[in-house]
């Protein structure tokens, strides 16, 4: 997308309102995953080097417009300070006299992290007055919050009505890679779709199916495709009201000579106790057993089918990734993408990114998106409000 970036404007000595996605979790004072913080560092360093006064705005969790002590941003400021080897001050609010005084004292190259912006109900309501109060702190709006770009919130969209709005370096990279595969990926083009909900993925298929050479399904959505084939999936979760939709996708794929739809032929199953685990044909699932991962033959078929691909986009784990040993299929898919030579590989956020990290191959993937919901909507062809507000070049 042809949006202005922070490189296109002069930020020297200016107050920059930097919206980031630092929606991270802590356990006993320790951050569980700082990937989103680390991905924002290039923008932070650029602004520091340019002598900007940086006011960082972020949210954590869903506090519902109330102050929730365990969702404060102060621990984030401490961890971010250690990552960039530079002090990051924090305040206990995001508007008001305390914040204004802290902003006033900022020197070029310094950072201030505001309190969790979702402590105000006006944030998610995209309240114009609240957005105006946030905007009054700064001269320029820089958005690096791709992970929340699909939300029409005050700090994501509203501030952009009152300040010149441009993308940060992370947002630029997200739009380059996710935008490219959503509109113009090099062929042959493959889509790997997992996760639980068929409804979430059908719109992606409808947007990409005309360009795709290969569609691979796994995870819970594969169960719905198996039911559309008339296969008994035992106690496995599937969406009965989406079986007809899955059948339509299969019929469309069958009508095209240049499109292959890969549905599992064998799966890893387990009983309710989780102690009896077997790799079986999809036609041999006993009553009471659930499909929890792709089987060995299905993974081998996927590996072979992906080999000639020039663009691969993966959204959603192909198994019950949260529990071992049912994470193995997703980890193996991560290795398949990492091993592709000369291909552009783009991985959606959330659990898919976690699978790539667990496999230890993130540095061999072209782009691991920081935004699950945002990348999902972009792949569906939806214009994100947090992107639309940014100025065009």
Residues with catalytic function = 36, 197, 350, 373
- The residues near 361 (Cβ < 8 Å, ≥ 6 apart) are 334, 335, 337, 338
Using H for helix, E for strand and C for coil, what is the string for the chain? CCECEHHHCCCCCCEEEEECCCCCCEECCEECCCHHHHHHHHHHHHHHHCCCEEEEECCCCCCCCCCCHHHCCHHHHHHHHHHHCCCEEECCCCCCHHHHHHHHCCCCCCEEECCCHHHCHHHHCCCHHHHHHHHCCCCEEEECCHHHCCCCCCCCCHHHHCCCEEECHHHHHHHHHHHHHHHCCCCCEEEEECCCCHHHHHHHHHHHCCCCCEEEECHHHHHHHHHHCCCCCCCCCCCHHHHHHHHHHHHHHHCCCCCEEECCCEEEEECCCCCCEEEEECCCCCCCCEEEEECHHHHHHHHHHHCCCCEEEEECCCCCCCCCCCCHHHHHHHHHHHHCCCCEEEECCCHHHHHHHHHCCHHHCCEECCCHHHHHHHHCCCCCHHHHCCCEC
Classify strands 189-193 and 311-315 as parallel, antiparallel or unpaired. parallel
Q: Are 277 and 231 contacting, i.e. CB atoms less than 8 angstroms apart? A: no
Using the structure block, give the residue that is written with the tokens 């059908």: 202
Question: Quick one: CA torsion of 319, 321, 325, 326, rounded to 10 degrees?
Answer: -10
Which of 348, 47, 314 is closest to 174 using CA atoms?
348
């Amino acid at each position: 997308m042809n949006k202005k970036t922070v490189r296109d404007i002069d930020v020297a000595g200016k107050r920059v309102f930097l919206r980031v996605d630092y929606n991270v979790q802590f356990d006993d004072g320790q951050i569980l995953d700082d990937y989103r913080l680390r991905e924002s560092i290039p923008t932070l360093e650029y602004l520091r080097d340019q002598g900007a006064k940086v006011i960082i705005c972020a949210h954590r969790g869903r506090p519902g417009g109330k102050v929730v002590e365990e969702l404060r941003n102060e621990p984030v400021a401490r961890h971010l300070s250690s990552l960039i080897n530079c002090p990051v001050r924090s305040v206990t609010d995001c508007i008001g006299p305390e914040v204004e005084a802290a902003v006033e004292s900022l020197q070029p190259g310094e950072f201030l992290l505001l309190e969790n912006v979702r402590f105000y109900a006006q944030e998610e309501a995209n309240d114009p007055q609240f957005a105006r109060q946030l905007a009054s702190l700064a001269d320029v709006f820089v958005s690096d919050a791709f992970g929340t770009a699909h939300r029409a919130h005050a700090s994501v969209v509203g501030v952009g009505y009152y300040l010149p709005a441009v993308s940060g370096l992370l947002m630029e990279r997200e739009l380059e890679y996710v935008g490219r595969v959503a509109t113009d990926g090099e062929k042959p083009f493959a889509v790997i779709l997992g996760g639980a909900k068929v409804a979430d993925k059908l719109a992606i298929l409808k947007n990409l199916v005309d360009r795709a050479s290969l569609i691979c399904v796994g995870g819970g959505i594969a169960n719905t495709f198996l039911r559309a084939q008339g296969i008994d999936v035992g106690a496995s979760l599937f969406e009965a009201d989406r079986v007809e939709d899955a059948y339509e996708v299969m019929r469309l794929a069958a009508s095209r000579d240049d499109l292959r739809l890969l549905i599992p032929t064998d799966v890893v199953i387990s009983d309710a106790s989780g102690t009896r685990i077997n790799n079986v044909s999809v036609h041999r699932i006993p009553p009471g057993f659930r499909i929890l991962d792709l089987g060995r033959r299905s993974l081998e078929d996927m590996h072979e089918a992906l080999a000639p691909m020039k663009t691969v986009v993966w959204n959603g784990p192909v198994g019950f990734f949260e529990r071992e040993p049912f994470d193995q299929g997703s980890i193996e898919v991560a290795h398949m993408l990492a091993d592709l030579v000369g291909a552009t590989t783009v991985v959606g956020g959330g659990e898919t990114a976690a699978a790539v990290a667990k496999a230890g191959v993130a540095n061999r993937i072209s782009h691991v998106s920081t935004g699950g919901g945002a990348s999902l909507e972009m792949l569906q062809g939806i214009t994100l409000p947090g992107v639309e507000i940014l100025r065009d070049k």
